[in-house]
Structure 1
Amino acid sequence: MAYQPSPSLAGSSLPPLSRPELAEARRVRAVELFEEGVSNAEIARVVGVCAESVRRWRRVWEEGGASALRRRAATGRPPKLDDAQVETVRAALEQGAQAHGFEADLWTLERVGAVVERVTGVVLSRASVWRLLTGRLGWSLQRPERRAVERDESEIARWVAHEWPRIKRGR
């Protein structure tokens, strides 16, 4: 298995909005519409959620104002790698696996974990490496094609055109 930057994210200067950011943007838009006196059903249609969500948001808004619908900081254990370390890891991974002493230029979870430990000193589990790659770095799983190096396309075409009809006639 190999991991590479997702094509949609390669070369992008702005990161895509995360799910919590999108949800907050919907709630902020709903607040604007609440203040304009738009009906719950119309707000649900405009922001793309069910009417029950809008009713719940309206109750929260009436009790606590717009700030009550803002996104809260994530709870739980903070990430092992800060943003600067993640960027260091990104730069190291973009050099390629061979630059880090691996025989083939393919990234596996184990190899990425070894590079993370080497450049940051932080040991990550396989699951944490996966979350780092797919979540914080925006990379996706890429599988190499299974094809023999010795494969000769012209010889295969010749065989299909000449040998296969001969074999098929012989039945």
Structure 2
Amino acid sequence: MRYAQGGGLTDAGRAVRERIRLQAVERFERDEKNRQVAAALRVNERSVEGWRRQWRERGEAGVLSKGSPGRPRLSEKQIAKLERELERGPLAHGWVDQRWTLARVKTLIGRLFHVSYTVEGTWRLLKRHGWSWQQPARRAIERDDDAVDLWKKEVWPRVRASRRPATDGSSSRTRPVSR
């Protein structure tokens, strides 16, 4: 079941839903119809059909809550280790540049903890622990800002001035159309 704003049921909410499913099991045992069970428990009839199917296949255990779907797969100790490894940088882990990408972090998590995350799940994990998305500035390491400023002030005006002026008021370099 999906909820708006990416939410979900809390532990208390899951416990309430589980009690409702267990009440449905009691009614299944009394051989009540799905429509009656749905009306009595104020739930959708399709939900009752699914619960009944699970109850037939696995008994009462089939309708019990399976826990939070978003439970963390890494412990706090593992998160702390991951953060230390991220601070060491990508070069320390065998990549050729100093950029952490989500795919690289995902691979690092797999190598360190033998846990598989999706790229999106990796982003959620990092965001939950205070990491932010950053785009590196695209600049050459050898760039000399002072030399660039000097070139703009002295050379660029000369280059711009030496361009050939347009003739006959036309700005095109093609021949005028003969009439």
State the TM-score, normalized to the length of structure 1.
0.50
CA distance in 1, matches of 2:136, 2:70: 35
What secondary structure does 1:142 align onto? coil
CA distance in 2, matches of 1:169, 1:94: 51
What secondary structure does 2:132 align onto? strand
Partner in structure 2 of residue 109 of structure 1:
102
Shift of residue 167 of structure 1?
A: 3.2
**1:139 and 2:121 are equivalent in the alignment:** no
Shift of residue 147 of structure 1?
A: 1.4
Question: Could you tell me which amino acid in structure 2 is paired with residue 85 of structure 1?
Answer: Q
**1:125 and 2:118 are equivalent in the alignment:** yes
State the TM-score, normalized to the length of structure 2.
0.48
Partner in structure 1 of residue 61 of structure 2:
none
**Contact (CA 8 Å) 1:88, 1:119: kept in 2 or not?**
no
Shift of residue 121 of structure 1?
A: 1.0
Provide, for residues 88-136 of structure 1, a one-character-per-residue CA deviation record: whole Å limited to 9, x for no partner: 211221211111111112111111111111111101110111011111x
Higher RCO, 1 vs 2 (CA within 8 Å, ≥6 residues apart): 1
What secondary structure does 1:132 align onto? helix
Q: Unaligned 5+ residue runs, structure 2?
A: 1-66, 166-179
CA distance in 2, matches of 1:77, 1:163: 60
**1:87 and 2:75 are equivalent in the alignment:** no
**Contact (CA 8 Å) 1:97, 1:107: kept in 2 or not?**
yes
Change (3 A) 1:169 1:77: closer
CA distance in 1, matches of 2:114, 2:74: 10
By percentage of residues, which structure has more strand?
1
User: Of 141, 146, 166, which residue of structure 2 is paired with 1:154?
Assistant: 146
CA distance in 2, matches of 1:163, 1:146: 24
**Contact (CA 8 Å) 1:109, 1:126: kept in 2 or not?**
yes
Change (3 A) 1:94 1:154: closer
Shift of residue 148 of structure 1?
A: 2.4
CA distance in 2, matches of 1:118, 1:100: 10
CA distance in 2, matches of 1:112, 1:159: 41
Identity %: 36
**1:164 and 2:161 are equivalent in the alignment:** no
Partner in structure 2 of residue 17 of structure 1:
none
Q: Unaligned 5+ residue runs, structure 1?
A: 1-73
For this pair of structures, how many residues does the alignment match? Answer: 98
Residues 17-96 of structure 1: pairs in structure 2 closer than 5 A: 75-96=68-89
